[in-house]
Amino acid sequence: MSRLGGFLNLPAMPTRILLADDHALVRQGLKALLEKQGFLIVAEASDGQGTLRSVEKTEPDVAIIDINMPVLNGVDAARELKKSSPRTKVVVLTQHGEDQYVTESLGAGVSGYVLKSQAADALVHAIQEVCRGYIS
Amino acid sequence: MPIHIVLADDHVLVRQGLKSLLEREKFQVVAEASDGQEAVRLTEAHHPDIAVIDISMPTQNGIDATRELGRS
């Protein structure tokens, strides 16, 4: 991650991100937005199973996962992902602000929780915080 | 002249993502709305070439907003 590069006085490596959302247009929009901020999107997935396969293959620093996805939902995917690829941090990006979803996500090992009704700054902040090892 | 667009969606992050995507393709997003009434107000104020409107929005949904724009 970029912090190590700075410490060793090496060029900063971009944070590598996987985007999982079943709406292609939402994914493409987020990709354009995050690339503008200097992040590197290494993979995209449209369902929970695809997310697990892509994370195993690409080992991203952060997986940004929607909750409502077909085949395997985002919370269950996060739970599996934390077992198979514990190094990858998970940020949930959802329209659900209810406590029940937040609690279930945290129980599944999610490090960040961002609502789609929040501004892009909140997502960028959450990515940075989870990379530093914090819960956001 | 770039094509002028008004974007209406109640999810800010979705709007900002679409804006980044459209601006990369050289469209110009002249205003953003988070509900139907705001979409109508901003479209009437900015006269964009295109209004991109989500259906599920609070206050006034996208279909009713479009109907109102058609009248005005």
Its CATH class, for the domain covering A14-131, is alpha beta
* Angstrom distance (rounded) from CA A129 to CA B30: 32
Q: Does B17 touch chain A (CB under 8 A)?
A: yes
Start-end of H helices in A1-136: 2-7, 24-36, 48-58, 74-84, 99-107, 120-131
> A4 falls in which pLDDT band (50, 70, 90)?
low
Domain ranges, ordered by start, for chain A: 14-131
Chain A residues with CB inside 8 Å of B17's CB?
26, 28-33, 120
Strands ordered across the beta sheet of A16-20: A40-45, A16-20, A62-65, A89-94, A112-115
Task: Give the tens place of pLDDT for each residue, B4-36.
Answer: 999 999 999 999 999 999 999 999 999 999 999
Inter-chain touch B13–A25, beta carbons under 8 Å? no
- The residue ranges of DSSP E strands in B1-72, in sequence order, are 4-8, 28-33, 50-53
The answer to whether A21 touches A48, Cβ cutoff 8 Å, is: no
* Angstrom distance (rounded) from CA A54 to CA A11: 26
The predicted model scores a pTM of 0.88
Domain count for chain B = 1
Inter-chain touch B16–A119, beta carbons under 8 Å? yes
Supply the range of the domain harboring residue B27.
4-71
Task: Give the tens place of pLDDT for each residue, A76-97.
Answer: 999 999 999 999 999 999 999 9
Alpha carbon A105 to its chain centroid, in Å, reads 13
Task: Give the tens place of pLDDT for each residue, A28-70.
Answer: 999 999 999 999 999 999 999 999 999 999 999 999 999 999 9
Q: How many helices (H) and strands (E) would you count in chain A?
A: 6, 5
Nearest CA in chain B to A36: B20
Task: Give the tens place of pLDDT for each residue, A17-27.
Answer: 999 999 999 99
A52 to chain B nearest CA, in Å? 24
Residues 26-65 of B with CB under 8 A from A: none
Question: Which CATH number does the domain housing residue B37 bear?
Answer: 3.40.50.2300
What per-residue confidence (pLDDT) applies to B72?
80
